[in-house]
Amino acid sequence: MIRSLLEKDIASIAKLERELFGPGAWSEALVRQEINAPARNYLVDEDPEGGIRGYAGYWYDGDDAELMTIGVAKRWQRRGIAIHLLEYLLSQAHQQGARRMLLEVRVDNEAAISMYARLGFLRIGLRKRYYQPEGVDAYTMSLDIAQWAAMSYAGRLPQSDETRRHPSPAPADALGTATRQGDTPTERNMTAMNDAVRKD
């Protein structure tokens, strides 16, 4: 079940961060800082027992939306959870009026790049040594959200049936909606990394 990320989820998200990103993981304090920053929209995918399988979020400043992160627990990867989360985020951004969604993705993250391409993201640039401390380059990718919405609802993109029926998660005291930049979790932009990674 996809729902809004709540304060009670922060410890679970920080634990997933450590599993997925090792030395670059956000601490509980950084997770809290990010989800409470202005203009943020964060979701989690919850299993039937209440565990967190995945999480994702973006910020929207009134023009473009930017994917901040997307991650899926290793044991739940390759099951479509990441793409489902991203579809929900795109639906929300579309409802807010965002023109595009932007993201950065490691150039060596083939799984994430492939997933983004399936949804219609196009590569528009390269950011040298974007991911630190490893110094790995990142591709910048962009998606025209109105075009995505038109194509997905017309059945031309692999959007899940569940997302079509319920384009937005049930509200639940979500933390933050917002915007962020700078040398913080955002700058490291967990944005796209494959299921652990912020995607699947």
- Strand 2-4 to strand 100-106: parallel, antiparallel, or no bridges (unpaired)? unpaired
Instruction: Report the 10 Å Cβ neighbour count for 95.
Output: 12
**Which band of pLDDT confidence, cut at 50, 70 and 90, is reported for residue 132?**
confident
State pLDDT tens for residues 55-97.
999 999 888 999 999 999 999 999 999 999 999 999 999 999 9
The sign of the dihedral angle between the CA atoms of 15, 20, 22, 25 is: negative
State the amino acid at position 134 in one-letter form.
E
Span between the terminal Cα atoms of the chain, in Å: 17
pLDDT tens digits, residue range 107-127? 999 999 999 999 999 999 999
> What was the pLDDT predicted at 38?
93
Dig out the tokens for 52 from the structure.
Answer: 């967190």
Which stretch of 35-39, 126-130, 194-198 has the lowest confidence by average pLDDT?
194-198
Nearest to 196 by CA among 2, 4, 45, 17: 17
* SS3 of residue 75 by DSSP: helix
Beta-bridged to residue 100, according to DSSP, are: 144
How high is the pLDDT of residue 134?
84
Each residue's pLDDT tens digit, 8-22: 999 999 999 999 988
3-state secondary structure 87-152: HHHHHHHHHHCCCEEEEEEECCCHHHHHHHHHHCCEEEEEEEEEECCCCEEEEEEEEEHHHHHHHH
Return mean pLDDT, the chain.
80
pLDDT at 169 (0 to 100): 45
Q: Tens digits of per-residue pLDDT, 153-194?
A: 665 544 444 444 444 443 332 222 222 223 334 333 333 333
pLDDT of residue 138: 96
User: pTM value?
Assistant: 0.77
What pLDDT does 155 receive? 55
